[in-house]
Amino acid sequence: MKWLKSNVFVPVLAFVFVMFFWATAFAASDEIRIGVIGPMKFIQGKSQWNGAVMAAEEINAKGGVKVGSKMMKIKLIQADSNEFLSITDATNAMERLITRDKVHFVVGGFRTEAVFAMQDIACQNKVIFIGCGAASDELCNRVAKYYDQYKYFFRGTPFNSTALVKAAFSHVGSTAEVLRNELGITGPIKVAFVAEKAQWADAMVPAVQATLPKMGMELVGVWRPSPVATDVSAELSAIQRSGAQIIFTFFSSSVGIPFARQANELKIPAMQVGINVEAQKAEFWQATRGQGNYVITSSTYARNVECNELTKPFVEAYIKRFGEVPTYTTGTYESIKMSLVDTIEMIGTLDPDKIVATLENRVYKTPPSTIMYVKDNLGRHTHDLKFGPGYATGIASQWQDGEFVGVWPNKWKPAPGVEVTYKGVKPIKIPPWMIKAYKK
């Protein structure tokens, strides 16, 4: 350890520190650093990263972001939150982005519990954080209740849980209509409700019990498998015995795969409609070995479905770049390009308070929808997305012979005199074994 005592050690150490801080300071001056946080070993995180990469590439290819008189390039910094397994890892990743990497903005986050913790850290440090994964209403209720503290949080994607439920009921209604028309079912459509045992789905049980009869349908049973169940043939046997014609699913976890697969393998004569997050992924077809056919799920993108004029160019460019249809966590794309960069160029500064004040009042188009941030009943900013025709609606897609096809909104009537159909949607297909069972 002689070298420790030598005269060279202290100057070398000082030099390294100076270089490090100089490099950080230099980097800060000509680039906008954006942290992309998410479970990077999983498809949700990969999609978040892909969306961000695409946005950064497009912006940098045009010379960067015009901030006042200066052009600044986008630099992305990836942070693996590992949030499916550890909330602590997620908070550490957010801390690292802010304190070590000194990011200006953060996009991403997926699991609600983790996003709450990330939201606290980002907002304490006055770093704008656009959530691109969690749907909990409470994330934005916090903004309304404690605006000064949480105003740096915005919802990017998806729309909130309440809106997700509204959309899912509409999808069930449309499917019931198709069954009545094509199979000649005259009485109330029988619906089995299958929701994974998770907090986000608990509130759905009373909602389904109250709403389905009003929609002219009959609830024949409620099943609550574990979110990670790998064998649901028992539940499916019971569902078939109940005579259900629609299986209203509420899955965000892996159970969506065995359920879809086994229902098709057992040729259960009922249509699966609702939320099945696994079915939104391109990998679903392979994961179910093609047995996910005819499953309908809420989604954000399907090839050839156009919510507005920006949808198709984005989806095609994404497919060209990454070889798959984007999922909703690619919302990092519009969060960076349309929410952040457009606002920065409008006001010419990176000051978070000024960006918040401008962004919360903007109405702008993104590939999946037109964004408008709503206020609550008391007129307080929530930074939550407006749901409904003309704004964010999402779509419903069905797996049809290996293709993820948009099937909703198709003549959707959200209000008297209003009918919505997105360009490119196709009719819902009924499984042939169901047609056979009902056309005997």
Verify binding: residue 88, another protein, rule CB under 8 A.
no
| Contact status: 299 vs another protein (CB under 8 A) | no
Q: Does 278 bind another protein (CB under 8 A)?
A: yes
Q: Is 380 helix (H, G, I), strand (E, B) or coil?
A: coil
Region near another protein per CB under 8 A, out of 40-48, 304-312, 327-335, 350-358: 40-48
- Selected from 80, 218, 265, 342, the binder of another protein by CB under 8 A is 265
Binding another protein by CB under 8 A: which of 289, 321, 380, 423? 289
Q: Does 84 bind another protein (CB under 8 A)?
A: yes
Give the residue with the Cβ less far from another protein, 41 or 126.
41
Query: What DSSP character marks residue 187?
Result: S
Please tell me what DSSP assigns to residue 280. Answer: G
Q: How far is the CB of 381 from another protein (least distance, A)?
A: 36
Give the gyration radius of the chain's Cα atoms: 24
Looking at 38, 39, 158, 431, which residue binds another protein (CB under 8 A)?
39
Compute the least distance from the CB of residue 108 to another protein, in Å. 16
CB of 30 to another protein, least distance (A): 35
Separation between Cα atoms, residue 17 and residue 416, nearest integer Å: 67
Q: Judge whether 154 and 383 are in contact, CB under 8 Å.
A: yes
Structure-derived torsion over alpha carbons of residues 234, 275, 280, 117, reported in degrees to the nearest 10? -110
CA distances from 158 to 273, 349, 440 (A): 18, 28, 42
Closest C-alpha among 167, 379, 378 to residue 275: 167
| From 19, 23, 228, 418, residue interacting with another protein (rule: CB under 8 A) | 228
> Does residue 423 touch another protein according to CB under 8 A?
no
Longest dimension (CA), the chain: 94
Based on the shown chain and the rule CB under 8 A, indicate whether residue 221 belongs to the binding site for another protein. Answer: yes
Nearest to another protein of 40, 65 (CB atom): 40
- Select the residue interacting with another protein from 288, 298, 339, 393 (CB under 8 A): 288
Q: Is 347 an interacting residue with respect to another protein (CB under 8 A)? A: no
- Single-letter residue type at 431: P
| Stretch touching another protein by CB under 8 A, among 9-17, 179-187, 251-259, 385-393 | 251-259
Beta strands in 115-162, from DSSP E residues, in sequence order: 128-132, 153-157
> Whose Cβ is closer to another protein: residue 291's or residue 339's?
291
For the sheet with 70-80, list strands across it.
Answer: 65-67, 70-80, 31-38, 105-108, 128-132, 153-157
- Which residue in the set 24, 88, 124, 237 belongs to the binding site for another protein (CB under 8 A)? 237
Is 175 a residue that touches another protein (CB under 8 A)? Answer: no
207 sits near another protein (criterion: CB under 8 A): no
Of positions 138, 202, 231, 309, contacts another protein by CB under 8 A: 231
Contact stretch for another protein (CB under 8 A) within 235-243, 298-306, 318-326, 337-345: 235-243
Interatomic CA distance for residues 133 and 165, integer angstroms: 16
Using the minimum distance from each CB to another protein, give the nearer residue, 88 or 237: 237
Question: Residue 358, SS3?
Answer: helix
Amino acid in the structure at residue 285: W
By CB under 8 A, name the one of 254, 304, 358, 370 that touches another protein.
Answer: 254
Cα(373)–Cα(123) distance, integer angstroms: 18
DSSP summary character for residue 423: B
**Total Cβ atoms within 10 A of residue 320:** 8
Beta strands in 279-434 (DSSP E): 296-299, 363-365, 370-375, 381-385, 395-400, 403-408, 412-415, 418-420
Question: Is 332 a residue that touches another protein (CB under 8 A)?
Answer: no
Strand order in the sheet with 403-408: 296-299, 395-400, 403-408
In the complex with another protein, which residue's Cβ is closer, 42 or 438? 42
Among 240, 308, 349, 400, binds another protein (CB under 8 A): 240
Question: What mask of x and - would describe binding to another protein in positions 140 to 169, judged by CB under 8 A?
Answer: ------------------------------
Measured distance CA(384)–CA(243) in Å, rounded: 40
Q: Which residues bind another protein (CB under 8 A)?
A: 39, 41-43, 46, 84, 196-197, 221-231, 233-235, 237-238, 240-241, 254, 257-258, 261, 265-266, 278, 283, 286-289
